[in-house]
A = this chain, B = another copy of it.
Amino acid sequence: MRRALDAASEAGTQGEVPIGAVVALDGEIVAVAANRTRQPPDPTGHAEIRALRMAAEALGQDRLTGCDLYVTLEPCAMCAGAISHARIARLYYAASDPKGGAVEHGARVFEQDQCLHRPEVYTGLAEQEAGDMLREFFRERR
């Protein structure tokens, strides 16, 4: 999660929303990414999507079976769907997100009957730090 927080912080300095994600397999980091939706413009450029794509490329397979995903904010519906498609084994997220999260809020993607793969979900790790980083970012831009 430290690497995810560092990636988030770096994204913030570049004007992107400070959210970071890391994919790991057997304790080894496979991919590190941060939000990047503005430059280049990409509405799907959330940290999780980018990290999953990088990990799939690095491992040469579209199913990341056995992999862990660490992300600094509760995934949205788009990212939760992608996590399920990618067969991520364990999802760790820091801050929960009542406004946009779709794991414990809103669409609750993993709780749907049709969801074909549900990761184990662990929350709360570095919650304060990840949340503060986001609040600070949006306060400065208001």
Q: Which residues of A contact B (CB under 8 A)?
A: 37-38, 40-45, 49, 52-53, 56-57, 59-64, 76-82, 84-87, 98-100, 102, 105-109, 112-116
Contact = CB atoms under 8 A, between A and B. Distances in A.
A125 B38 CA distance: 33
A53 B57 contact: no
B77 A43 contact: no
Contacts of A85: 37, 43-44, 76, 78
B78 A43 contact: no
A99 B86 contact: no
B41 A86 contact: no
Integer count of this chain's copies in the complex: 2
A17 B43 CA distance: 23
A102 B86 contact: no
Nearest to A59: B41
Contact of A106 (B41, B59, B114): B114
Contact of A77 (B42, B61, B87, B109): B109
A137 B92 CA distance: 36
A61 to B, nearest CB: 5
Given A43-B64, A44-B85, 12 more contacts: A42-B53, A43-B52, A44-B53, A77-B77, A77-B80, A77-B102, A77-B107, A78-B80, A78-B82, A81-B107, A98-B114, A106-B113
A116 B105 CA distance: 14
